[in-house]
């Protein structure tokens, strides 16, 4: 037909084995520039396995496992009141539970991503919305899982993560394109987020710490709460 084959797709069978056979057949036919695409219920674990096996695959088609996680097919989420506005002031509220993970972080808050001198994200810091953080020296913080330890950030940069989307019912956010979003995520993963946090097996935990005043406020609410039943 006078057209050169640009690529083939593998969608079943042993993808690692078949891709190697296909690559050899294509190369022997003088089609070394022909690309191989693989699909068939792929997820990050299958793709990682194929890469480790040396599969000759140029790109992966991910569909059903992209929109529905196999390990967590249902993403549970609920809204809980974090604060009540009274005379222009937001009074914090907290949900208490016998399950620690269900206890909410109260109040109107701000969260910062904390970067070290190499601009690597080392933690997130939860603070009160109107709380001012002095970043010129050491910044004290509390690890909520180990509150008895004295912790400080030194020589770090604090970047607020929350950005307004609607103000007084008016849209004030931005609408980046899909390509812009992809570039933003790629830059974060390659430059800011530690590789140890991105691995699939035993990943390093990304910590969410609190300022001392925020931690104190949360615990005061917990102390004044009453459990019944």
Specify the higher pLDDT residue, 135 or 7. Answer: 7
Region 178-203 average pLDDT: 94
Domain boundaries, given as residue ranges, for the chain: 7-67, 83-224
Question: What was the pLDDT predicted at 76?
Answer: 74
pLDDT band at 226 (very low <50, low <70, confident <90, very high): low
Residue 215 has phi, psi (to 5 degrees) of: -60, -40
Region 3-24 average pLDDT: 95
Residue 213 has phi, psi (to 5 degrees) of: -70, -35
Q: Model's pTM, two decimal places?
A: 0.78
Which residue in this structure is represented by tokens 């590789």?
195
The CB-side HSE value for 229 (13 A sphere, CA atoms) comes to 3
The DSSP secondary-structure symbol of 39 reads: -
> Which pLDDT tens digit goes with each residue over 140-169?
999 999 999 999 999 999 999 999 999 999
| Strand segments (E) across the chain | 7-10, 35-38, 59-60, 83-86, 89-92, 109-115, 121-128, 139-141, 151-153, 157-160, 166-167, 170-171, 208-210
Give 83-224's CATH code, choosing from 3.20.20.150, 3.50.50.60, 3.30.110.30, 3.20.140.10.
3.20.140.10
């Amino acid at each position: 037909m006078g057209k050169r084959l640009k690529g083939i797709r593998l969608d079943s069978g042993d993808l690692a084995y078949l891709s190697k056979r296909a690559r050899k057949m294509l190369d022997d036919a003088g089609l070394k520039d022909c690309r191989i695409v693989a699909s068939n219920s792929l997820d990050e674990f299958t793709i990682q396995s194929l890469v480790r096996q040396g599969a000759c695959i140029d790109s992966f088609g991910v569909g059903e496992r992209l929109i529905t996680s196999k390990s967590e097919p249902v993403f549970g989420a609920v809204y809980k009141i974090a604060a009540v506005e009274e005379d222009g002031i937001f009074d914090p509220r907290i949900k208490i539970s016998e399950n620690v993970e269900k206890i909410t972080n109260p109040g109107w808050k701000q969260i910062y991503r904390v970067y070290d001198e190499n601009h690597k994200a080392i933690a997130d810091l939860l603070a009160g919305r109107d709380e001012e953080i002095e970043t010129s020296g050491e910044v004290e913080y509390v690890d909520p899982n180990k509150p008895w330890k004295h912790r400080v950030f030194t020589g770090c940069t604090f970047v607020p993560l929350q950005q307004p989307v609607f103000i007084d019912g008016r849209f004030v956010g931005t609408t980046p394109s899909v390509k812009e979003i992809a570039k933003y995520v790629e830059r974060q993963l390659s430059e800011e987020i530690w590789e140890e946090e991105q691995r699939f097996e035993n990943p390093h935990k990304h910590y969410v710490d609190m300022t001392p005043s925020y931690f104190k406020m949360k615990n005061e609410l917990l102390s004044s709460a009453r459990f019944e039943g």
